[in-house]
Structure 1
Amino acid sequence: MLLLLSLIAADAQNSAVDRAMTQSVAGWNAGDINRFLNIYSDDPTTSFIAGEGIVRGKAAMKIRYQTKYDFTDPAKRGVLTIERLDYRPLGRDFALYIGRYTLRYPDGHSASGPTSVVLHHEAGGWKIIADHSS
């Protein structure tokens, strides 16, 4: 019985994380940077790691995204999709999500790479506390 309850809880956690990721992607595709970033924790130690190094805090991430992408122009921002490759609960309040992001642009080119995020269940739902995208 305990195993069954544990599996049900893990499935509910997985679904909640998938919904949060879907909302973030929808924000990107709508050109709404705040909706896109809503999945990130407000904790100042929240980190994003990409080719140019580590960025800490949601405010710094917002600046990075605004500098790198034009959220007012869909042709320059691209259409984002994320394919989930793996998901692992890391206890009751943490999870690891591994995926592949793809940005497709109207001119036919695309950018794609792996992403792994650690999420924490906070008062506002599941929030990314660490993001490593290549």
Structure 2
Amino acid sequence: MTFFLGFWAMAENRLSEKDETNIRKLIQQQVDAWNEGNLEKFMETYWKSDRLSFVGSRGPTYGWQATLDNYKKGYPDKKAMGHLDLKVLNLSQIDVKTVLMIGRFELTREIGDVAGHFTLVIQKIEGEWKIISDHSSAEN
């Protein structure tokens, strides 16, 4: 009986195909917006809240607007932004409305390429998947 209940609980907590598709579309929306040089559109994938967290090489930033402002400082134009590729390495459901994504980013730019890994906490808020926490670390 314990095996059956444990299996049933795991099956209930599995990410649906529809949710996985929508989450992957969210990540593609990020890539497309970045490669267009459109930071505002890129930021539409994030939770528009003061509780959004972003952790990068300079430590944590809290809030949607502060995160956008930091992106604008670090990537003032399309040349600085370059071309982004993201690869999803692992997608795990934490609960019915929260997933953890681990991936790799590669940024190709004339001023020097950057690559590394990211961890995203993505949550379904008011029916839409949004990134609520982003930790990105460059290798170089």
TM-score, normalised by the number of residues in structure 2? 0.84
Identify the match of residue 130 of structure 1 among 129, 133, 137.
Answer: 133
Partner of 1:58: 64
- C-alpha distance in structure 2 between counterparts of 1:116 and 1:43, whole Å: 19
Q: Any idea what SS the aligned residue of 1:41 has?
A: coil
Asked if the contact 1:10/1:89 (under 8 Å) is kept, the reply is no
- C-alpha distance in structure 1 between counterparts of 2:14 and 2:25, whole Å: 17
1:98 equivalenced with 2:102 (yes/no)? yes
Partner of 2:3: none
Q: How does 1:46-85 map to 2 (within 5 A)?
A: 46-71=52-77, 74-85=78-89
Q: How many residues align?
A: 130
Q: Any idea what SS the aligned residue of 1:70 has?
A: coil
Q: Which structure 2 residue ranges, 5 or more long, are not aligned?
A: 1-7
Partner of 2:5: none
Choose 1 or 2 for highest CA Rg: 2
User: How much is the aligned-residue C-alpha RMSD, in angstroms?
Assistant: 2.1
Q: Any idea what SS the aligned residue of 1:100 has?
A: strand
Q: Any idea what SS the aligned residue of 1:40 has?
A: coil
Cα distance change of structure 1 residues 124 and 43 upon mapping to structure 2, 3 Å threshold? farther
Q: Any idea what SS the aligned residue of 2:47 has?
A: coil
- C-alpha distance in structure 2 between counterparts of 1:97 and 1:9, whole Å: 12
Cα distance change of structure 1 residues 23 and 124 upon mapping to structure 2, 3 Å threshold? farther
- C-alpha distance in structure 2 between counterparts of 1:53 and 1:45, whole Å: 15
Deviations 1:31-61 (A, max 9, x none): 1111101111012111000110100011000
- C-alpha distance in structure 1 between counterparts of 2:13 and 2:62, whole Å: 34
TM-score, normalised by the number of residues in structure 1? 0.87
1:88 equivalenced with 2:92 (yes/no)? yes
Deviations 1:93-132 (A, max 9, x none): 000011001100146x410000000011012611011110
1:111 equivalenced with 2:114 (yes/no)? yes
